[in-house]
Structure 1
Amino acid sequence: MTLSVTQGSATAKRFLALLLPIALLSTPLPLLAQPSSNSVDSDLPLEEIQTFAEVFERIKRAYVEDVDDRTLLRNAMRGMLSELDPHSAYLDKEEYQSLRESTEGEFGGIGIEVGMENGQLMVITPIDDTPASRAGLMSRDIIISIDGTPTKGMSLQEAVTLMRGDPDTTIDISVLRAGEESPREFTLTREIIRSESVKHELLETGYGYLRIGQFQSRTPEQARQALERMAREQPLDGLVLDLRNNPGGVLQAAVGVADLFLDDGLIVYTEGRIPDNELSFSASADTPAGDVPLVVLINSGSASAAEIVAGALQDQRRGIIMGTDSFGKGSVQQIMPLGNGEGLKLTTALYYTPEGRSIQAQGIEPDVDVVRGRLEVAESRRETREADLEGHLSAQQAPRDREETSPRLRDDYQLSEALNLLKALNVVDRRRD
């Protein structure tokens, strides 16, 4: 195949001169015997390269504004990655640094995890105790504008850059929620986002609550310490592991948390095109909460590493998964630094649960469906009881003090149902004994 340049374009000729050595290197040498099917795949598509050069030249000559070569080439690289999947991206120096700040757990912003779905900027989940969560943003909200700039056609990294900023500055975002015709308008004040990954408390005596907001490097150790604190006075009769609106995080942290409840067996494995991306993680015998009855709460904001934990515990029959279907982000991204201080975020593998289920675009289906709701106490329905009757007989012993329960239970229907399920499981176990 030969290369030719139409219209004698100097820019296109120069561009092709740079690409031609690459094309020649990829062309099979006559002295090397190669299967015909592989030789076709190894050739660069020279016609497409020529077309690319022609498009490059037409933009240079005819676009309404002057565009330098560097900008066009960087845009081309962005396009190559953005068309692969919603999570792969080309990162310039500012974006690369911003991503590093996010992984270190501190940055200026509104506290929201976002992704792209069908070309739309979508909320994966708001992070706990941030402007986004306090304002009421929800998983799967579609962000249609940021400070008046439409997000249609905007890359994921461009949107993240717009939402990041100095603390105490405001940002206006317009959100379209499923089932609603008119967008909702939010004005948020940016803060330094320091995400605490683990919270815990006793819901009632003997019943613990472990909330993991996202998976950071220290999350397994923090979760272990929380379990030890809750069981300090007496062994736990049950535990609720809350992974709702958990956007994921560090893979090894998810493995470490699952290992707190499993004493053997596979936790997760990955498959990619190259051997380095094929990994497998199994549980160890050191399991501080191996026999505690467990209910795991998930919802549509539970993504990535959170789905790894839920999937492992479900496949190993270690706990009951309750809530609604999870998000379905089962792909692995690697951050690859480039020599110029920029980087790539590239999808390199997919996650699989111990039973071989792909999380990608499937998510984890709960064992017990419980939709989001709120408990309401009907104060007006005050019924007459024996103690209200005039002249009633008194008890022969002092009445028992009513047990203190967590305020969370009044406002969280799913959590209340999880606690009820744990109590029911204990009743069944006692009857079996």
Structure 2
Amino acid sequence: MLCLSPKKSGANKNFQTLLLIAMFAFANFSNAAPVEKKKTAPQNPGLLPLEELRTFTRAYDHVRTSYVEEVSDSKMLEYAIKGLISELDPHSAYLDKEAYAELQATTSGEFGGVGLEVGMDEGVIKVITPLDGSPSQKAGIKPGDVVVRIDDQPMKGKTLTDATRLMRGPKDTPIKMSLQRKGVDDPIELIIVRDLIHVQSVVVKPIADDYLYVRIAQFQTNTGKDFVERLRENLKLRPKTKGLVLDLRNNPGGVLQSSVEVADAFLDNGTVVYTQGRMENSSMSYAATPGDLTNGLPLVVLINSGSASASEIVAGALQDHKRAIIMGTRSFGKGSVQTVIPITEDRAIKLTTALYYTPNGRSIQAKGIDPDVRLEKITNGVSQKAPMAEADLAGHIGNKEGQEIGSGTREREAVVNDDTLKDNQVLDAINLLKGLHILGQQPASTNDETDTNKRAPAIAPNIEVRPPAQDK
């Protein structure tokens, strides 16, 4: 039911005028030009437009005086900030006290909850990936599932922050979740017991005799350091190692610096990644330091549509330097950098400040990394469709340098299998490494570890591997 607003009182007009003057004065003060340039100040694009400020103050005043329930000015201004940031792109957000604390807990790698990475897609909360070993993975939640309800609260109209708060909680407390899955008519009802989520971001283990399997689940603050330590330790224990598989599938990304440190471990020199933004300090270049930790061992990197952001930095850098063969399906395509900017002691904004580029100048935004070897994951004899990509997100930043790749035009998708030796992509990666070894890669000497310096780095071939026709 609509109701026309009565004519505004003089008091409300005075309030509008005061608010407008305050906002306009602040905008001019914060963007003030030098005294000698006063004549050109009105053309400064940094100044707020007066007419739009009037529109905002009118809307603000109507809510302030006419909304069915009284809302404090401080709460309304906070809502305005939330709306401003959330409308920019799917990855920018306003972080209140609780959300800011949750972000810090996530990057540290320990928190109470169900271990689910979610994203916003056209107004719904959609699963990007469950974290390795988490209650959500054990419950069978899959990438692409839509979160319909949490503890009987509908998620329609809720923000990512709202959903995260409901999923977080003390260990051993139950949570009821209702999910909608493509191809399944009825909602999937689950009761999941929360656990202390301590994300073990790096796993290194021997596989198939003289090869190492390295899994990075998420790029946390200490991931780069942990990766180098565990890899160095395993190589020392296994001097006959002939090659490595680096598994970045369903790795949603994380801390930029950690991804640089992981890529640097395999590179002797050159650019790892560079960023470009409007602010001077947002355009940066990260270079590899001398020394390949593996001394040129052949390397295969596994990716899929759940490999995003920091994962794509690693895959893109190793691909451009021809240091690794990238295998799997096209990555997610999140080529933007978010900077967490504190605005008070306990509040911050997470703002997209730059786009990142691979060493050869490729923008991954809304496109992703195209693998050298396209290989689908087969689960019970059936390959699985890619659930979602950056290009599918409403309001995403476009790729100005090439075609955007959404889920509708991607290869079928991979879901990591807990049993590594039954994972067809891991097995094919090992077979490829064995082939490279047979064709000329030299194994480590049992007597002299310095012989590993003679190895040549693996060159990524232009190979396309497809599953059997009956699997499509």
Same fold (TM over 0.5): yes
After superposition, where does 1:259-408 map in structure 2 within 5 Å?
259-374=264-379, 408=419
Point out 4+ residue stretches in structure 1 off by more than 6 angstroms. Answer: 27-30
Tell me the equivalent position of 2:89.
85
Of 43, 55, 61, 1:57 maps to: 61
Q: Does 1:136 align with 2:147?
A: no
Q: Does 1:194 align with 2:205?
A: no
Letter in 1 for 2:375: V
Letter in 1 for 2:197: I
Tell me the equivalent position of 2:464.
none
Deviation at 1:47, TM superposition (A): 1.5
Does the residue aligned with 2:164 lie in a helix, a strand or coil?
Answer: helix
Q: Can you list the C-alpha shifts for 1:116-141, whole angstroms capped at 9, x where unaligned?
A: 22332222222111111222222233
User: 1: CA distance between counterparts of 2:201 and 2:248?
Assistant: 11
- CA 1:24–1:225 in structure 2 vs 1: closer, same or farther (change >3 Å)? closer
Tell me the equivalent position of 1:97.
101
User: 2: CA distance between counterparts of 1:17 and 1:146?
Assistant: 44
Q: Can you list the C-alpha shifts for 1:75-117, whole angstroms capped at 9, x where unaligned?
A: 1110000001111111111221121121221111111222222
Deviation at 1:41, TM superposition (A): 1.9
Tell me the equivalent position of 1:145.
149
User: 1: CA distance between counterparts of 2:102 and 2:327?
Assistant: 35
Letter in 1 for 2:168: R
Letter in 2 for 1:411: K
User: 2: CA distance between counterparts of 1:262 and 1:29?
Assistant: 47
Does the residue aligned with 2:378 lie in a helix, a strand or coil?
Answer: coil
Does the residue aligned with 1:41 lie in a helix, a strand or coil?
Answer: coil
Tell me the equivalent position of 2:449.
none
Tell me the equivalent position of 2:37.
32
Larger deviation, residues 46-55 vs 178-187: 178-187
User: 1: CA distance between counterparts of 2:253 and 2:126?
Assistant: 16
Letter in 2 for 1:362: K
Q: Does 1:428 align with 2:432?
A: no
User: 1: CA distance between counterparts of 2:441 and 2:255?
Assistant: 39
Is the contact between residue 27 and residue 44 of structure 1 (CA under 8 Å) also seen in structure 2? no
Larger deviation, residues 174-183 vs 280-289: 174-183
Q: Does 1:241 align with 2:242?
A: no
Letter in 1 for 2:324: G
TM-score, length-normalised on structure 2?
Answer: 0.78
Of 426, 437, 440, 1:415 maps to: 426
Is the contact between residue 228 and residue 265 of structure 2 (CA under 8 Å) also seen in structure 1? yes
Q: What number of residue pairs does the alignment pair up?
A: 398
Is the contact between residue 108 and residue 221 of structure 2 (CA under 8 Å) also seen in structure 1? no
User: 1: CA distance between counterparts of 2:188 and 2:108?
Assistant: 31
Does the residue aligned with 1:81 lie in a helix, a strand or coil?
Answer: helix
Is the contact between residue 24 and residue 48 of structure 2 (CA under 8 Å) also seen in structure 1? no
Letter in 2 for 1:301: G
TM-score, length-normalised on structure 1?
Answer: 0.85
User: 2: CA distance between counterparts of 1:258 and 1:28?
Assistant: 43
Q: Give the superposed CA RMSD.
A: 2.6
Does the residue aligned with 1:257 lie in a helix, a strand or coil?
Answer: helix
Does the residue aligned with 2:440 lie in a helix, a strand or coil?
Answer: helix
Does the residue aligned with 2:132 lie in a helix, a strand or coil?
Answer: coil
User: 2: CA distance between counterparts of 1:294 and 1:149?
Assistant: 46
User: 1: CA distance between counterparts of 2:376 and 2:358?
Assistant: 24
User: 2: CA distance between counterparts of 1:177 and 1:212?
Assistant: 27
Deviation at 1:223, TM superposition (A): 2.1
Structure 2: runs of 5 or more not aligned:
1-6, 382-416, 443-455, 457-472
Q: Which has the larger radius of gyration?
A: 1
User: 2: CA distance between counterparts of 1:66 and 1:49?
Assistant: 23
Deviation at 1:62, TM superposition (A): 2.1
Is the contact between residue 208 and residue 430 of structure 2 (CA under 8 Å) also seen in structure 1? no
Structure 1: runs of 5 or more not aligned:
377-405
User: 1: CA distance between counterparts of 2:337 and 2:232?
Assistant: 32
Larger deviation, residues 173-182 vs 325-334: 173-182
Letter in 1 for 2:264: D
User: 2: CA distance between counterparts of 1:297 and 1:327?
Assistant: 13
User: 1: CA distance between counterparts of 2:247 and 2:255?
Assistant: 17
Letter in 2 for 1:314: Q
User: 2: CA distance between counterparts of 1:243 and 1:344?
Assistant: 28
Deviation at 1:40, TM superposition (A): 5.3
- CA 1:202–1:144 in structure 2 vs 1: closer, same or farther (change >3 Å)? same
Letter in 2 for 1:372: K
User: 2: CA distance between counterparts of 1:291 and 1:55?
Assistant: 62
Is the contact between residue 28 and residue 39 of structure 1 (CA under 8 Å) also seen in structure 2? no
Is the contact between residue 315 and residue 354 of structure 1 (CA under 8 Å) also seen in structure 2? yes
User: 1: CA distance between counterparts of 2:358 and 2:201?
Assistant: 23
Letter in 2 for 1:286: G
Is the contact between residue 110 and residue 196 of structure 2 (CA under 8 Å) also seen in structure 1? yes
Tell me the equivalent position of 2:466.
none
User: 1: CA distance between counterparts of 2:214 and 2:65?
Assistant: 61
Letter in 2 for 1:110: V
Deviation at 1:409, TM superposition (A): 4.2
User: 2: CA distance between counterparts of 1:419 and 1:29?
Assistant: 64
Does the residue aligned with 1:132 lie in a helix, a strand or coil?
Answer: helix
Does the residue aligned with 1:32 lie in a helix, a strand or coil?
Answer: helix
